[in-house]
Every structure is written in structure tokens, then in C-alpha cells.
Amino acid sequence: MSADRGGELLTIGAFARASRLSPKALRLYDDLGLLAPARVDPYNGYRRYAPAQLERARLVAWLRRVGMPLARIREVCELAPGAAAEAVAAYWAQVEADTAARRDLAAFLVDQLKRKDTTTTMATDATPTPDRSLTMRYAAGTDRGLVRPVNQDAAHAGPRLLAVADGCGERGEHAAAAALDALRPLEDRDLAGADLLGALEEAARRAHRAVPMADGESGCTLTALLRSGSQLGLLHVGDSRAYVLRDSGLFRITHDHTVVQSLIDEGRLTPEEAPHHPDRALLLRALGAGGDDVAPDLQLLEARPGERYLLCTDGISGVVPAESLAAALAAAPTPQDAVREVIALAHEAGAPDNVGCAVGELA
């Protein structure tokens, strides 16, 4: 039972009306320890609140109206007014950054859906007709960086397949190489009419089984694009990334499987704080990381001539801003030039990690 605070106690109904919070919300906030009543009747469980609690309750209501998560509201409510103001400003800056990112993703999805609409036949099954005349120019490269003693990144580029893997563990380079070896047979398959996502998912399972065979303590990320005509199948596990450069700009088309990204998604961390978080390297999903199976993200994309796709490990995306990547991809005459420029940008940023990337251009 809490002590009385500030004058005659209010019933939960009266307190709800005064605070602009519903009785249901007040009961939830009590259960979460966010807004405990001043008194709870030991016999009937009725909650009563002190008038002095209204200030905190109204703050909770306002913060909920701007969309702040409950865990973060609890932290703000425990701060002094000045620090609370800074916390609210930081949260809103994050919201604006996230809104900009979602706006870019929405623009990408609108573009994708329009492409699907223009390539859909009038057949009853509405099956898209891939453009078999498209070809892909490609290049890949890796670099040890300026700090790490060995290179545990691997990259592959071919006419049908782009892939990067970032090894972790004592012999992570073997894990990364094993993962790409499991994907390379896709280069030799006749993919006309094939289920690209099914082929990639099966290849990911092969890679997951192959990685522990390389070294019992190792694992790796894996991001790959498999092409059939104008269709691209995307496979993604871990924190390597895939981007596409189009007339409308550079779009990131993967979502990191990391502890830090999960904290950002929950509103407990800002994107600006992420590079400095002590758990920034911890993966939630990786090949060879426990369990008998793997759950990759899979996506089907419609490609157009002139687009450039970049796959890269976090040794690049972690130190090179997206604007610099976009400029490098746009200015490079060939995919080979783009790979060299992207690796050079990582070196200019100090290259604290291994770097690996693959670039493909549709023509």
C-alpha cells in the first residue's frame, strides 16, 4: 500500500477524468509500476489517487499522445524537469529520423508495386513476365581493413548471384567462405521460371549446416541477391546490408538482425546512439549460431536497367554514411570502380573492421 500524497484522495474515475487517462490505462500503468495509486483498499482492491499525482499522470498522457513507448516514459518520469525536457527532445528527434527512413522505404515500396503492376500479364494467374534480355555487370572485393589481423569477410559477384558474408569467431573466415560456397551452385542453375526465394531459402539452409562444419565456434552473416531476368530474390541474415541506387536515390532494402537494431525498433535507442552502444556487434540471427535451422529474410524485387545494387558488410555500412555510398555508386563508371571507391571510403574512415562488398548493375 502506498502512502497518501497531497490532500483528499480521488477515486479512479475522478482521477481518470482529471488526468485525461482512462481507468483501464490507469490500471495498466499501476501494473507496470509507472503510476501507482496512493492507496489500494486491501479488501475490495479499489484504487485511490492523490491530487499531487495529477502532474505525473498528465505527463504520462502527453507522452503517450506523442507515441513514446511505456518503458521510455518510465525513464522520463523519473528525471528532473530539465533532463526530462532533453529526453523528450531526443525522443522526438529520433521520431523524425525514423519518419524520414519510413518515408524512403514507402517510396521504395510504391516504386516496387508500380513495377509489378506494369509487368503483370493479363493472364488469369497474373504472373509477372521477367525481362530475360537484362544482363548484369558485376564486381566484388574484400579488404582486411586497417586494424584487424585477418580478413573474415567474403564476397562473390557473378552474372546471376551477388553475395557477402561476414565471419565471426576465432576462424570466422572459414564460416564466411563455407556460406558462399553453399550459394555458388545457384550460378549454374537454369533459373527460368524458378522459385527464386525457394532456391535461396534452401541454399541458406545448406549454408547454415555447412558453417559449423568449418569451425565449431564460428558463424557468419549472409546477404545475397539471386537474379532471373528482371527478378531479384533477396536473402538476408545478420547485419550485412543491401542497397539499391535508382533515379530517386539510394534505398536500403535489408533490416539488421542485431540487438542494437531491436532497441532502436522498440524506441529505447536512437540511430545516433547505436554506433557507440557496447552491444552494437551482437547478432540476433546468424548462420551457424545455434539451432538446427535458420530463418532468413526473403524478398522478391523487380529490377530495371541502370540500377546498381550494393551488398556490403558492416565494416563499410558502419563507418561510411549512406550519402557517401550513394555518391560513390552514382559516380563510378563501372561496378569494379564502385567496389574500389567504396573500399577506399572505408579506409578514409579508419577501416576499423574487415570490409567486403559486391556491386551489380543491370543493363
Hey, where are the domains in the chain? 10-78, 99-362
Report how far residue 284's alpha carbon sits from residue 266's, in angstroms, rounded to the nearest whole number. 15
Q: Which helix (H) or strand (E) holds 164?
A: strand 161-168
Residue 132, pLDDT score: 64
Q: Which of 144, 205, 141, 200 is nearest to 172 (CA)?
A: 144
Residue 3, pLDDT score: 43
Residue at 184: amino acid letter: R
Other C-beta atoms closer than 10 Å to the C-beta of 28 total: 14
Report how far residue 263's alpha carbon sits from residue 240's, in angstroms, rounded to the nearest whole number. 18
Report how far residue 338's alpha carbon sits from residue 336's, in angstroms, rounded to the nearest whole number. 5
Residue 123, pLDDT score: 37
- All cell numbers assigned to 198: 525457394
| Homologous superfamily of the 99-362 domain (CATH) | PPM-type phosphatase domain (3.60.40.10)
Residue 204, pLDDT score: 92
Is 60 within 8 Å of 29 (Cβ atoms)? yes
Q: What are phi and psi of 21, to 5 degrees?
A: -115, 145
Mean model confidence pLDDT for the chain:
86
Report how far residue 154's alpha carbon sits from residue 355's, in angstroms, rounded to the nearest whole number. 9
Is the alpha carbon torsion for 246, 248, 253, 255 positive or negative?
Answer: positive
* Two domains, one topology: 10-78 and 99-362: no
- All cell numbers assigned to 124: 488469369
Report how far residue 17's alpha carbon sits from residue 127's, in angstroms, rounded to the nearest whole number. 56
Is 248 within 8 Å of 265 (Cβ atoms)? no
Q: Which helix (H) or strand (E) holds 68?
A: none
Residue at 301: amino acid letter: L
- All cell numbers assigned to 185: 551452385
Residue 125, pLDDT score: 44
Alpha-carbon distances of 106 from 245, 246, 251, rounded to whole Å: 15, 14, 10
CB within 8 A of 358, min separation 6: which ones? 138, 139, 140, 155, 156, 157, 162, 163, 164, 310, 311, 312, 339
pLDDT tens column, 115-135? 666 555 433 344 455 566 789
The CATH-assigned architecture of domain 10-78 is Orthogonal Bundle (1.10)
Q: What is the pLDDT along the chain (363 residues), one digit of tens a residue?
A: 344 444 689 999 999 998 888 999 899 889 888 899 999 988 888 999 999 999 999 898 889 888 888 888 888 988 999 999 998 988 887 777 667 666 766 766 776 676 666 555 433 344 455 566 789 999 999 999 999 999 999 999 999 999 999 999 888 999 999 999 999 999 988 777 668 999 999 999 999 988 866 555 789 999 999 999 889 999 999 999 999 999 878 999 998 988 888 777 766 776 767 777 777 778 888 998 666 778 899 999 988 899 999 999 999 999 999 999 999 999 999 999 999 999 999 999 999 999 999 999 998
